[in-house]
Amino acid sequence: MPARPISSYSNIMMQPNLDTLVPVYIREFEPYIPSKPDAELMKLYGCRRLYRLNNNENPLGPPPGAQEVIRRFPPSQGALYPSGDSYDLRVALASFHGLEPDQILVGNGANEVIAFVIKAFCEQGDNIVTADKTFAVYEWVAVFSGIGVRLIPLTEEGFDDVGMLKAVDKKTKILFVCNPNNPTGSYWSKGRLKAFLDAVGNERIVVLDEAYFEFVEQEDYPNGLSLIGDYPNLVVFRTFSKMYGLAGLRIGYLVGDLSVVDVIRRTCVVYSVNRLAQNAALAALRDDTGHIRRTRALIRESRAFLNEELGRLGQPIISGEGNFLIVRLPGSDTLAYRKMMREGIMIRPMTGFRYPNHIRVSLAQMEAMEAFVAALKKTLGG
């Protein structure tokens, strides 16, 4: 008797019982749905070109040295596993920052290093404390790991240090501070940060996310890496995605005290950072062509232009540090997104950041800024 094809069993095979297999905190978690590729979006909205102003990407791209590494990457190396712990890059970062290589862990973008820390220190029943309007991945990783999250409202668009300290209890393991904050651009000064660290004490980990560190030029803005010696419970995040323009290669890193990083290392997934990303990051770090200076100049020019133009329109804005600003709209941000997409302008609706009726726009070249203003005028007029 011939075997029946597998498809014929479809009606008699029992489906897995997801009600019992899936933890409650996973069933209740809303997945993040990425946007479609640019070509598909352009077809969908009927636009001939698309300005990407939604992800805070560096409009200048990677530094020239990193671009050269990417262009010359030998295809044969695609068959070889990368350094499992990004050894050469960690050594270079240690030299650059005046640290020990073993104080540094490299990960596949910010999401992975966030997960490293939460997995290292938290178990079910524990909680983290952060802001309600900040980089959402702290909350996401905690929630889908079964960890409690205490979200403290911002005060004057910035992290509320007093409110965060009041939220701490015996089960609090980590406090996340985004400095400067995405999406508001607010930041804590060195004095305020140190006072917060003093108040937290050594019973909990404080994570300082400095993804936009290289964009800030304010004199009172702290370098978190310089504080690790005095505060061994401090863990600092940095990334190559923003200033260094390597978002497409997914590479970031964390820095901490040797004893703390030794614990976090136990949760790392080795070989998660590909060879090209490691090579390009190494070249970006060593690039001396003025990439940071040029990017900062572009961001200053673009911010000044939008501040003036949006002021003329009477649109309230939140404009702090980083390579972005927020615009408050008189109506729906998701509707504005669809209207502006038809004009070839891709912005970030802020409802997902708990900022309904606001949009975030990444700062870029003047051509893109002028196109954004024109599209916004049309959207508001409509």
165-176 per-position pLDDT tens digit: 999 999 999 999
Any bridge partners for residue 234, and if so which? 206
**Whole-structure pTM value:** 0.93
pLDDT digits (tens, 9 = 90+) for 191-238: 999 999 999 999 999 999 999 999 999 999 999 999 999 999 999 999
Q: Are 185 and 324 in contact (CB under 8 A)?
A: yes
- Asked if pLDDT for residue 283 goes beyond 90, the answer is yes
Q: What is the CATH number of domain 64-286?
A: 3.40.640.10
| C-alpha separations of 135 from 138, 235, 251, 379 in Å | 7, 16, 17, 27
Q: Which fold has domain 27-60+291-381?
A: Aspartate Aminotransferase, domain 1 (3.90.1150)
E strand or H helix that includes residue 176: strand 172-178
Which pLDDT band holds residue 16 (cuts at 50, 70, 90)?
Answer: confident
DSSP one-letter code for 229: T
Which pLDDT band holds residue 10 (cuts at 50, 70, 90)?
Answer: low
Residues 119-126 have a mean pLDDT of 96
* Residue whose structure tokens are 């940060």: 193
In angstroms, the CA 154 to CA 188 distance is: 12
Domain(s) labelled CATH 3.40.640.10 in the chain stretch across 64-286
Residues 18-45 have a mean pLDDT of 87
- pLDDT value for 9: 52
- Residue-wise over 251-274: b if at least 16 C-beta within 10 A, else e? bbbbbbbeebbeebeeebeeebbb
Residues 255-259 have a mean pLDDT of 98
pLDDT digits (tens, 9 = 90+) for 48-107: 999 999 999 999 999 999 999 999 999 999 999 999 999 999 999 999 999 999 999 999
E strand or H helix that includes residue 207: strand 205-209
- pLDDT value for 35: 86
In angstroms, the CA 234 to CA 257 distance is: 8
Any bridge partners for residue 208, and if so which? 177, 236
The CA-CA-CA angle for residues 291, 297, 303, to 5°, reads: 130
| Average pLDDT of the chain to the nearest whole number | 94
Residues 119-141 have a mean pLDDT of 96
Tokens of 96: 């650059």
Q: Are 336 and 359 in contact (CB under 8 A)?
A: yes
pLDDT digits (tens, 9 = 90+) for 291-335: 999 999 999 999 999 999 999 999 999 999 999 999 999 999 999
In angstroms, the CA 362 to CA 347 distance is: 8
pLDDT digits (tens, 9 = 90+) for 86-99: 999 999 999 999 99
Enumerate long-range contacts of 328-334, CB under 8 Å, 24 or more apart.
328/357, 328/358, 329/357, 329/358, 329/359, 329/380, 330/357, 330/380, 331/357, 332/356, 332/357, 333/357, 333/358, 333/359
- Asked if pLDDT for residue 147 goes beyond 70, the answer is yes
pLDDT digits (tens, 9 = 90+) for 327-356: 999 999 999 999 999 999 999 999 989 999
In angstroms, the CA 295 to CA 72 distance is: 24
